[in-house]
């Protein structure tokens, strides 16, 4: 091929072949959905999707292809999302509003075709799942800068809803405005934490003394800035795009390494994979007794189970200074090693979910 026209003709032929192959894939997917429905099997299988991406990435490396793991994920996660909607259309509740970081996280796993419910609070997401009005829920559970989201942990402690997947998403802030130049800006909207996370940017661009108006979400900030040519919003890139505000600056956060861990919630149990993580709640019967937590953790050490997190929360069912402990460890609830620990602590441990260990994603 020597001309641009020849290249375009070749691409058109390949696109036609891709479409034919995708349609063939979707016909099989529809059959899979019928089989799963008859056997009451879970439609969303994170461990299966991860295995496919790993296999395709290795194939690309072997073929010396141009697609790396990020590119393969971007393409195939959307294919998986379309496939799930063909298998069985599902509704996803998330902490809104539309254009929030949680919305971004949800779309990264369930695609643009899914039916989304924007909820005003984390308890509302749990309620949608518990009443079966939604099959999946997406909520934040931890931020690398601000720490744990206590409300999510407290709700998990007393809900039948389980964690079925996790993902880590970099949190990038954008400065969006319809103003032609910075000196025209008279007010800036964002969440209260948004101002704190971008303080250096505001100082460097002489915006620190401009009126800062805190709102309930960065998406709401974008909505308000869209109505005022002298206003700006510190918000996500997707919110600026969604509400039609030009982005003047990207990645304005002080800590460029900030990430939020999101969990996907539902009502089923994942099958074991080779790369699992499990979350549990521990209510020790003698939690105020000296050494009770140490003795509990020693049982994990004796079984060679690696913990990745331990977080204490004030007990909701006891007075005084009593605590629950939220623990993440590597492995599945059905692993023999953990079952041995569980036998020693019946009544003290609540299983919150076993799921494929998440990886960071980059959302554009």
Q: Before 15, cis peptide (omega within 30)?
A: no
Higher pLDDT, 36 or 240: 240
pLDDT of residue 248: 95
pLDDT over 70 at 288, yes or no = no
Domains of the chain: 4-86 (1.20.59.10), 91-171+259-266 (3.40.190.10), 177-244 (3.40.190.10), 276-356 (3.30.70.260)
In angstroms, rounded to a whole number, what is the distance separating the alpha carbons of residues 338 and 320? 31
In this prediction the pTM is: 0.76
Digit-coded pLDDT (tens) for 209-264 = 999 999 988 889 999 999 999 999 999 888 998 899 999 999 999 987 788 999 99
Tokens of 138: 């997406």
Whether the per-residue pLDDT at 364 is higher than 50: the answer is no
Least confident of 21-35, 319-333, 335-349: 319-333
Nearest-CA neighbor of 138 among 125, 149, 148? 125
Measured CA to CA, the distance from residue 314 to residue 293 in angstroms comes to: 15
Fill in the DSSP letter of residue 360: B
User: What is the model's pLDDT at position 321?
Assistant: 55
Instruction: Give the pLDDT score at 238.
Output: 86
Please indicate whether residue 193 or residue 266 has the higher confidence score (pLDDT). Answer: 266
Q: Would you say 186 and 217 are in contact if contact means Cβ atoms under 8 Å apart?
A: no
* pLDDT of 147: 87
Tell me the pLDDT tens digit for each residue of 91-113. Answer: 999 998 888 889 989 988 888 77
CA–CA distances in Å: residue 244 to residues 191, 219, 233, 357 = 19, 12, 12, 36
Instruction: Return mean pLDDT, the chain.
Output: 88
Q: What is the pLDDT of residues 135-163, one digit of tens each?
A: 999 999 998 878 899 999 999 998 999 99
- Report DSSP state, residue 363: -
Residue 130 backbone phi and psi in degrees, to 5: -65, -30
Beta strands in 144-272 (DSSP E): 147-148, 162-170, 174-177, 187-190, 211-214, 231-235, 247-249, 259-266
Rounded to whole angstroms, the Cα distance separating 202 from 198 reads: 6
Query: Which region holds residue 205: left if phi is over 0, alpha if psi is between -120 and 50, else beta?
Result: alpha
Contacts of 275 (CB under 8 A, 6+ apart): 47, 50, 356, 357
Q: Are 105 and 261 in contact (CB under 8 A)?
A: no
Region 353-364: mean pLDDT is: 74
**Residue pair 152/140 in contact by the 8 Å Cβ criterion:** yes
Q: 198 is written with which tokens?
A: 């971008």
For 148, the token pair is 């744990």
């Amino acid at each position: 091929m020597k001309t641009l026209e020849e290249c375009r003709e070749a691409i058109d032929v390949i696109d036609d072949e891709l479409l034919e192959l995708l349609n063939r894939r979707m016909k099989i997917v529809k059959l899979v959905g019928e089989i799963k429905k008859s056997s009451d099997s879970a439609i969303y299988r994170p461990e299966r999707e991860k295995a496919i991406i790993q296999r395709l990435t290795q194939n690309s490396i072997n073929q010396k292809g141009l697609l790396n793991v990020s590119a393969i994920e971007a393409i195939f996660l959307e294919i998986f999302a379309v496939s799930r909607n063909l298998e069985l259309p599902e509704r996803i509740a998330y902490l809104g509003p539309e254009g929030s970081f949680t919305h971004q996280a949800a779309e990264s796993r369930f695609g643009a075709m899914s039916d989304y419910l924007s909820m005003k609070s984390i308890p509302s997401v749990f309620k949608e799942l518990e009443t079966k009005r939604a099959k999946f829920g997406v909520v934040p559970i931890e931020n690398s800068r601000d720490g744990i989201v206590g409300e999510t942990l407290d709700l998990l402690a007393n809900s039948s809803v389980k964690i079925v997947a996790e993902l880590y998403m970099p949190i990038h802030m954008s400065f969006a405005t319809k103003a032609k130049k910075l000196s025209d800006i008279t007010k800036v909207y964002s969440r209260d934490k948004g101002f704190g996370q971008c303080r250096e940017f505001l100082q460097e661009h002489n915006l620190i003394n401009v009126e800062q108006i805190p709102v309930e979400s960065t998406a709401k900030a974008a909505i308000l800035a869209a109505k005022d040519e002298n206003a700006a919003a510190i918000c996500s890139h997707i919110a600026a795009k969604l509400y039609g505000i030009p982005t003047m600056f990207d990645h304005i956060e002080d800590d460029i390494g900030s990430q939020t861990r999101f969990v996907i919630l539902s009502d089923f149990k994942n099958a074991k994979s080779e790369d699992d993580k499990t979350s549990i709640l521990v209510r020790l019967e003698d939690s105020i007794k000296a050494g009770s937590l140490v003795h509990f953790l020693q049982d994990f050490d004796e079984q060679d189970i690696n913990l990745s997190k331990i977080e204490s929360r004030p007990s909701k069912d006891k007075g005084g200074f009593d605590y629950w402990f939220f623990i993440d460890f590597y492995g599945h609830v059905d692993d023999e090693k953990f079952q041995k620990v569980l036998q020693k602590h019946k009544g003290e441990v609540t299983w919150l979910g076993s799921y494929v260990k998440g990886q960071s994603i980059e959302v554009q």
